[in-house]
Amino acid sequence: MKGLTCVGSLLLKRSTLHILQRNMSLVRDKAFVNGEWVTSMKGKKFDVVNPSDGSVIGQVPDMDVEDTNAAIQSAHDAFKPWASTTAKERSNLLRRWFNLLEDNKEELARIVSIEAGKPFKESLGEVFYGNSFIEWFSEEARRITGEIAASPAKSKEMLFIRQPIGVAALITPWNFPHAMITRKAGAALAAGCTCVIKPAEDTPLTALALAQLAHDAGIPKGVLNVITSSRENAAPMGKLLCESPLVRGLSFTGSTGVGKLLYQQCATGIKRVSLELGGNAPFIVFKSADLDKAVAGAMASKFRNCGQTCVSANRFLIDESIFDDFVEKLKKTMMKELKQGKDENCNTGPLINISQLHRVDNIVQDAVKKGAKVLLGGGPAKDLGERWYQPTLITDVKPDMICYNEEIFGPVVACIKFKSEEEALKIANDTPVGLAGYFYSGDIAQCWRVGKALEVGMVGINEGMISCTEAAFGGVKESGIGREGSHHGIEEYTDVKYLCFGNL
């Protein structure tokens, strides 16, 4: 395993799960239900593919609604015993899980690299980030407190307590296969909930590795379950997780379209819902900004995971007086710093699958046909493989272009001129979604004005990297409901119960 610092190593070209298992102790080819490694009831499997070269790196169970029902029942049976544990007991178990995650961080990062296509250093960064949620919620488990309310009558006393909601269904995306699970499962388990985790079909191996370490930490059977499926079975399984009367909450990270569907399906049972959906993040550079810092922030925000993050900067709004200077600086920085390829020095990987590449290229070609100017890139990096796309910089972007209106989810920078703060805010807020937004300014009064005026759930002010465990992560408008991380994250998995005591 020596020398694996990018997705193009020799290991990634080996195509059987047997070889992976021989080199990595945490790779599993079965799902995890009720504390046991299981196949699908119908015996079906599906391929897990390495995005770097398209090779098959293994197979996992292709489960369906019957398997999902079994996992839900397992979590339901385990709920009352788990909920009756003390906060200290849950805290200790989560801490043991965190310690094991830390002990195995390099292997976890290798697994993320293989199935998600991230360069190893970036995968390792995700693992550090993801592990921190388990550490955080191991501590937050002991801080789930109630309150005493002032009674309006002498004959009674009033207090509020928090209790776990029950079984939580966690549906997670492929772009952060480690951190999106730990951010949800850490909070759910700390609150006293049990969970059924459905990872994305592109990245199931990371989820199964996390389950193995949770089991090794001593988390009881049935408390954490991982079910896997192909894209074909994902929709009916998701529907069951939403509609089963044994499931009391759903947390989903993914596209707005799918989130709306799951929201509708949860309505039949009035489920607790937490949704972290798509964004269309503006990145505004005002004329008072430090351009070097703005370019550095743009690089950090835009090119993490090859632009495939929900908080990735999407629309670059640049004051017309500094537009040319900013674009030139960004162009030079992109040419200097972005290393796309399969050697150990690369820092930009492939897109997750072919359909995503086609989508990104369609957005770029639409812009070109409508008059946009390509300064860098502009098409697939065919010499690297069928899922690689060149880091791209385009200008002369107009309102009728797809890139002006929709989330790109790829390594494409679309630059738009504006004349005033009011115009920048109008463009930034003219979208049905509102997850993250960024802006650079040297005017403190403007920082306050714009920070409050942006219609998003999270704002980076002179900062391109806003994600951390302590932050309340989530959006407004069609970007979602609820918050993850921070002390607010645990609230999604608890109910407030009011106790009224009559004086004895």
User: Which residues belong to the active site?
Assistant: 276
- Distance, CA of 475 to CA of 457 (rounded, Å): 4
- DSSP E strands in 307-358: the ranges are 313-319
HSE at residue 280, side-chain half, CA atoms within 13 A, is 18
Is 124:104 a contact under the CB 8 Å cutoff? Answer: no
Using N-to-C axis directions, what is the helix angle for 444-453 and 421-429, rounded to 10°? 30
Q: Which two tokens stand for residue 402?
A: 């797809």
Between CA 180 and CA 96 the distance in angstroms is 19
CA dihedral 460, 172, 182, 65 (to 10 degrees): 160
Angle at 408 between CA 405 and CA 414, to 5 degrees: 70
Give 251's DSSP letter.
E
State the amino acid at position 245 in one-letter form. P
> Which residue in 189, 227, 269 sits closest to 493, CA to CA?
189
End-to-end CA distance of the chain: 69
CA distances from 108 to 94, 178, 345 (A): 17, 8, 20
Nearest alpha carbon to residue 282 among 454, 114, 35, 94: 454
Nearest to 198 by CA among 149, 131, 251, 153: 251
The C-alpha atoms of residue 387 and residue 184 are separated, in whole angstroms, by 29
Q: What share of the chain is helix, strand, coil (3-state, %, to 5)?
A: 40, 20, 35
Task: Count CA within 13 A, CB hemisphere, residue 126.
Answer: 28
Virtual torsion, Cα 303, 402, 280, 275, nearest 10 deg:
-110
Query: CA dist 499 to 141, 146, 155, 265, Å?
Result: 22, 11, 14, 32
Instruction: Identify the burial level of 345 via C-beta atoms within 10 angstroms of its C-beta, where 0-12 means exposed, 13-18 middle and 19 or more buried.
Output: exposed
Count of Cβ atoms closer than 10 Å to residue 501 Cβ? 11
Q: Which two tokens stand for residue 284?
A: 């505004």
